[in-house]
Chain A
Amino acid sequence: MTVEKFSYDNKIVRDFAIATVIFGVVGMIVGLLAALQLFGPIYNLGTQYTTFGRIRPLHTNAVIFAFVGNAMFMGVYYSLQRVCKARMFSDLLSRIHFWGWQFIIVCAAVSLPLGITAGKEYAELEWPIDIMIALIWVIFAINMFGTIFKRREKHIYVAIWFYIATVVTVAVLHIVNSIELPVSLLKSYPIYAGVQDALVQWWYGHNAVAFFLTTPFLGLMYYFLPKMAGRPVYSYKLSIVHFWSLIFIYIWAGPHHLLYSSLPDWAQSLGVVFSIMLIAPSWGGMINGLLTLRGAWDKVRDDVTLKFMVVAVTSYGMATFEGPMLSLKNVNAIAHFTDWIVAHVHIGALGWNGFMIFGILYWLIPRIYKTTLFSKKMAAFHFWIGTLGIVFYAASMYWAGITQSLMWKQFTPLGILQYPNFLETVVQIIPMYMIRAFGGALYLTGVIVMVVNLIKTVKQGSLEANEPAEAPAIEKGYADRSSKHRFLESRPGKFALLATVVVIIGGAVELIPTFMIKSNIPTIPSVKPYTPLELQGRDLYVREGCYTCHSQMIRPFRSETERYGEYSKAGEFVYDHPFQWGSKRIGPDLMRIGKKYPNLWHYNHMENPRNVSPGSIMPNYDWLLKQNLDNSTLESKINVMRTLGVPYAPGYEKQALQDLTKQAEELATDLQKNGAPAESNKEIIALIAYLQRMGTDIKGDTTTVK
């Protein structure tokens, strides 16, 4: 048995650490800006690039993919090398992965404020960036599997299993959810429409939480927590059991994001059942993490990294209990569309992801820089102010969510809505929005203290870019030693065969129904495709991120049909590429906004919402009144829509612009008649046309809108 000498690549770990810190600060500053905007419209800063609808996707993308993403890579590159007793498979791939990922982030940071968005939550990036993400992800996968194959340790430690699950599943999710047809370099339409798009999106959205924010961090927990505590994980057996059960259950729970929506009921119930089952494997991980510290709680008192880990794991336990509870239909009926969900995700993001990242940074940076942490006191300050920040954030958002939801649902004894004006319910929770921003500011303060602390730490040490290590080479053919491993002997052939069968079954399951089975979405004859002007208006709706504050999904509750009108039907969305159901009602639902107000109301409202609704927190959209509508891609849009199954007549693309101009002039004339200085070639005209169309196709005379 020869001992081989090699070295660990610490430089790549350091690079990802720097990236995670920088983008963490940026993402949180943007988050704080978004929080300020929700009680002070002035913080929209008067430019289209900084309105809430564009800032909120920037915030979510920055913290998920830049902050948490880079931290995941940092932790994976550090721990994978060490548990595999091998350097990363290829230094070149590591560098390409690093710079590729940062380039994607920069593209996102530029394109989202410009309003270049696919309009699907957490998957807003447009198709060229989607392709880059897929390529870089594959590079990461090759680098990771290459390292696993050349490992010097026969056993694959549980953390690696979590990383494998992450790499495999995220690739599948990203590809399936990002299938879109380009209209131009910067615009595309998803191939799915309406209900189907919603289902794909939340299958993706839910599993992104599972396999981007959860499984890699469980892997990190299983490596870093025992290292920090200096003792093995409580039960290795439990870690194996909960890993396999977690990944098998997680992929089926997505529909719980669409309860009471137009999704078929059986799919909703399926999502709920799997969500409830998820408590067990999730808590398996939490319990295993916390019990790792059994008999070592005295260390938590002194060691700030362990403090961060304890809060992180506890937050995970809270969020994974709350998640299944929220997926119960009766709880969801209250919580959905409210700030309760915002509290829920921030327990996960600030507590679980954030605190674990901070703990790992405080532990790892001194190690690769061969020094000690500059100041334990500053780290302790960060811990406490961060914890306080989470408490302020979560408590205010729970309060706001429940308050607003109850107000939405409150009827007077006479059976009419007690708060028929949506704005009343917003004004009520403005103080909570202020407290939320305060909590976020505390959290950010802690992070800035951490940055100083880490910079000082780095300055007093020096990076050990290549950390020498040695391990015996893995014995060749170890797998053939016992009869137990006969399966493995014949593995290449069998495995190839099985893989082919799986792919064929999978492909068949996917394709045959597409040809054989007629879509079982009930079609509604009166639902017609959008006119070219409305289509353009809809794209503006997507561009401005209206879905970040307004839903287009009236649930079948009396409190909602009274307030908004007839509940939403699946058949109404068949031409919606992408769907715009939204997930949060910072403002009212817009499903049946069409024809509810005159054109002039919309014109004035978009210029400055406070013109018509004093106290509104909606940003001004005055540039829509000045900017010319860009019709250069209209032909292409009609063509793409037709390819996707929208029944525009062949050759209609040639006539579309003419129809658009005609409709725009009619609308502008109406506005001018009522005294607005409207011009027919401005963006506002298209947006109003879309808003006036929304939800009207099935309205008829039976509308319950008041």
Chain B
Amino acid sequence: MDVMFILIGASITVAMTFLFAFIWAVKSGQYEDRYTPSVRILFEENIQSETENKKL
């Protein structure tokens, strides 16, 4: 079952990548504001917003 080690190695590498990404995200203040980002994406300053606002 040598391949187990390849898989565990690959999985751990992926997991470590995510772990560092997570640490970076927390430390760099990505998650200091846990509300505004959800609202911000709703407001796109569309330059031709007249046509944009039409609903389906």
Interface on A for B, CB 8 Å cutoff? Answer: 82-83, 153, 155-158, 161, 164-165, 168-169, 172, 176, 192, 195-197, 199-200, 203, 223, 226-227, 230-233, 236-237, 239-240, 244, 247-248, 251-252, 264, 267, 303-305, 362-363, 366-367, 370, 372-373, 376, 467-471, 479, 482, 484-485, 487-488, 491, 495, 498-499, 502-503, 505-507, 509-510, 513-514, 517, 519-521
Contacts and interface: CB of A to CB of B under 8 A. Distances in A.
Nearest to B7: A203
Given A248-B15, A491-B24, A510-B9, A267 B4 contact: yes
Interface in B6-44: 6-25, 27-31, 33-35, 37-42, 44
A203 B27 CA distance: 32
The CB with the most chain B CB atoms within 10 A, among A197, A223, A236, A303, is that of A236
B13 A502 contact: yes
Contact of B42 (A231, A264, A373, A510): A231
A232 B27 contact: no
A237 B34 contact: yes
26 contacts: A155-B33, A158-B37, A161-B25, A168-B18, A172-B10, A172-B13, A196-B1, A199-B3, A200-B6, A232-B35, A232-B39, A251-B11, A251-B15, A303-B56, A366-B54, A376-B56, A470-B45, A487-B23, A487-B27, A498-B20, A502-B20, A505-B12, A507-B9, A509-B5, A509-B8, A510-B10
Contact of B31 (A240, A370, A467, A520): A240
Contacts of B2: 196, 513-514, 517, 519
Contact residues of B: prevailing secondary structure: helix
A506 B56 contact: no
Contacts of A519: 1-2
A155 B30 contact: yes
Nearest to A514: B2
A232 B56 contact: no
A479 B45 contact: no
A376 B55 CA distance: 11
B20 A196 contact: no
Given A164-B21, A199-B3, A506 B37 contact: no
Contacts of A155: 30, 33, 37, 40
Contact of B56 (A83, A366, A502): A366
Given A156-B30, A168-B17, A513-B2, A370 B10 contact: no
A233 B37 CA distance: 10
B42 A232 contact: yes
Contact of A521 (B1, B8, B9, B20): B1
Contact of A172 (B14, B21, B47): B14
B42 A470 contact: no
Interface of B: 1-25, 27-31, 33-35, 37-42, 44-48, 51-52, 54-56
A176 B7 contact: yes
Contacts of A232: 35, 38-39, 41-42
A412 to B, nearest CB: 40
Given A226-B38, A488-B24, A502 B16 contact: yes
B29 A485 contact: yes
A127 to B, nearest CB: 18
Given A231-B42, A370-B51, A487-B28, 15 more contacts: A157-B37, A168-B17, A199-B7, A227-B42, A232-B38, A469-B47, A479-B28, A484-B27, A485-B29, A488-B28, A495-B24, A506-B12, A507-B9, A514-B2, A517-B2
Contacts of B55: 303, 372
Given A506-B10, A509-B9, A367 B34 contact: no
List 3 tightest A-B contacts by C-beta distance, closest first.
A232-B38, A196-B3, A510-B9
Nearest to A198: B3
A485 B42 contact: no
A83 B23 CA distance: 22
The CB with the most chain B CB atoms within 10 A, among A161, A470, A506, is that of A506
A468 to B, nearest CB: 5
A362 B37 contact: no
Contact of A169 (B3, B4, B14): B14
A158 B41 CA distance: 11
Nearest to A505: B12
A199 B35 CA distance: 42
A248 B18 CA distance: 8
A244 B18 contact: yes
A454 B42 CA distance: 25
A247 B54 contact: no
Contacts of B38: 226, 232-233, 236, 239
Contacts of A251: 11, 14-15
Contacts of A498: 20
Contacts of A304: 56
Contact of B13 (A203, A223, A248, A506): A506
A313 to B, nearest CB: 17
A176 B10 contact: yes
Nearest to A237: B34
Nearest to B32: A484
B42 A226 contact: yes
Contacts of A252: 11
A373 B20 CA distance: 44
A226 B11 contact: no
Contacts of B48: 370, 468
Contacts of A264: 1
A192 B6 CA distance: 11
Given A176-B10, A367-B52, A488-B28, A82 B37 contact: no
